[in-house]
A and B are shown apart, each in its own frame.
Chain A
Amino acid sequence: GQSLEQPSEVTAVEGAIVQINCTYQTSGFYGLSWYQQHDGGAPTFLSYNALDGLEETGRFSSFLSRSDSYGYLLLQELQMKDSASYFCAVRGAVGNFNKFYFGSGTKLNVKP
């Protein structure tokens, strides 16, 4: 089976940097994704890591270490609009190739 662990809530101030961690246990692994969801909205794709290392997209970066079954999302220069929930998701490999499994999400509160 698959399980993903994330902190339930993180608070940071505007302009700061915040890191949201994700550890996973999976019977097969094809990649780690991150999604953002504002209250009442739909999840939207942020980033994807298939290989170890850092991927940067503007103010957001995502990191993966497959040997540690661990990844994180790094948000820099926080803005009020970044207040949202952030989900990590793994894509199952081989027999579960087309299935995406989500963590329970981390609620990010950005304060002025």
Chain B
Amino acid sequence: NAGVTQTPKFRILKIGQSMTLQCTQDMNHNYMYWYRQDPGMGLKLIYYSVGAGITDKGEVPNGYNVSRSTTEDFPLRLELAAPSQTSVYFCASNSAASGANVLTFGAGSRLTVL
């Protein structure tokens, strides 16, 4: 049981480039989330999804896009990367049923924009 898997673990981008951070979970969780964590700070919610085909904005959605075509996958797209998007990105999931208050996190993707 892999839990929440994120790829890539590390990436360096140039300003203006685009990329997609991948997230997949094998726990059949309904809810999935993308957070970013700047050094020494807490987690800020970027986007979340309550099920396939349904997404909504969090606290800091500007510069990002998401899609949820399947229950398992929730990719995060960065368009026109900027230095302000240098951060560690965490994908998380939880179940609408049991454990609804427990977020399971992936290992994170460390992104640097130069």
Contact = CB atoms under 8 A, between A and B. Distances in A.
A100 B105 contact: no
A102 B102 contact: no
B75 interface: no
B114 interface: no
Contact of A98 (B41, B44, B48): B48
B102 A99 contact: no
Name the residue among B33, B90, B101 with the largest chain A CB count within 10 angstroms: B101
Contacts of B90: 42-43
Contact of A42 (B44, B59, B101, B107): B107
A42 B48 contact: no
Interface residues of A, number: 23
B30 to A, nearest CB: 9
A70 interface: no
A72 to B, nearest CB: 17
Interface string B88-104: 00100000000001111
Contact of B102 (A42, A45, A50, A101): A45
Nearest to B100: A91
Nearest to B30: A98
Interface of B: 31, 33, 35, 40-45, 48, 50, 58-59, 90, 101-108
A100 B42 contact: no
Given A31-B101, A33-B101, A43-B90, A100 B45 contact: yes
Contacts of B102: 33, 45, 48
A105 interface: yes
Top 6 A-B residue pairs of the complex, sorted by shortest distance between their CB atoms: A42-B105, A102-B42, A104-B42, A102-B43, A48-B101, A45-B102
Contacts of B41: 104-105
A101 B101 contact: no
